[in-house]
């Protein structure tokens, strides 16, 4: 079956999922997105990865599951309450550093071309500060956004934001872009060398 890759979840994923549900967290990254993130993280065996929007750590677990021992991940969220779930389940992994704070402030504090993979799962880095976030990609670096297909929890008038973001990514001269009807809708870009 072609969907088997989505069922081989990281061991800690079920624990995080149960804690997320108990917390009432209703914005999780789905397993298809996670499977893709694991694959992309594996392509950067000694890479420096950035996750904007830890949430409860469901996607974080997938990223860590794909990462090599020499890779590092910075995972950032502005909601310490939900990020606490991720910290409790994943903080013993020395490859991940959790940061509680504003995503755009963090992006602006980083040197250009300093990340090999960026998963933007929050407004900062996705709808706000896109150019600054893309500037953080090294040549060959990957930028991933999800929730690009209509979602039931979208606020009124959100579709035009999605359309503008997708068009900007597709027309950017320094990026190779693919939009996938996969999971919640993914757009993956690579910075051209």
**CATH code of the domain containing 128:** 3.40.50.150
Retrieve residue 106's tokens: 């963090």
Q: Give the residues across from 115 on adjacent strands.
A: 137
Q: Which of 149, 152, 185, 176 is nearest to 33 (CA)?
A: 185
- Helices and strands (H, E) in the chain, number of each type: 7, 7
DSSP string covering 77-96, please? Answer: ES-HHHHHHHHHHHTT-TTE
Q: Whole domain around residue 137: which residue ranges?
A: 4-191
Q: Could you report the per-residue pLDDT of 85-132, keeping only the tens digit for each?
A: 999 999 999 999 999 999 999 999 999 999 999 999 999 999 999 999
Distance in angstroms (rounded) separating the CA atoms of residues 87 and 97:
9
Q: Could you report the per-residue pLDDT of 136-146, keeping only the tens digit for each?
A: 999 999 999 99
Residue 1 has pLDDT above 50, yes or no: no
Segment 26-47 mean pLDDT:
90
Residue 27 has a pLDDT of 67
29 DSSP assignment: P
Distance in angstroms (rounded) separating the CA atoms of residues 94 and 130:
29
Residues 175/42/105/166 CA torsion (nearest 10 deg): 40
pTM of the model: 0.93
- State how many domains the chain has: 1
């Amino acid at each position: 079956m072609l969907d088997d890759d989505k069922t081989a979840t990281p061991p800690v994923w079920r624990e995080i999922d149960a804690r997320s549900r108990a917390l009432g967290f209703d914005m999780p990254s789905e397993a298809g997105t996670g499977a893709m993130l694991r694959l992309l993280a594996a392509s950067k065996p000694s890479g420096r990865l950035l996750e904007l929007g830890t949430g409860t750590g469901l996607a974080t677990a997938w990223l860590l599951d794909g990462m090599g021992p020499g890779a590092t991940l910075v995972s950032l969220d502005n909601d310490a309450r939900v990020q606490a779930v991720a910290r409790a389940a994943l903080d013993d992994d020395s490859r991940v550093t959790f940061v509680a704070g504003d995503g755009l402030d963090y992006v602006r504090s980083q040197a250009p071309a300093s990340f090999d993979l960026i998963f933007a799962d929050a407004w900062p880095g996705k709808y706000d500060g896109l150019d600054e976030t893309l500037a953080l990609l090294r040549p060959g670096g990957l930028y991933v956004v999800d929730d690009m297909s209509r979602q039931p929890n979208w606020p009124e008038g959100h579709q035009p934001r999605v359309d503008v973001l997708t068009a900007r990514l597709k027309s950017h001269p320094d990026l190779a872009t693919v939009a996938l009807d996969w999971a919640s809708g993914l757009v993956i870009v690579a910075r051209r060398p």
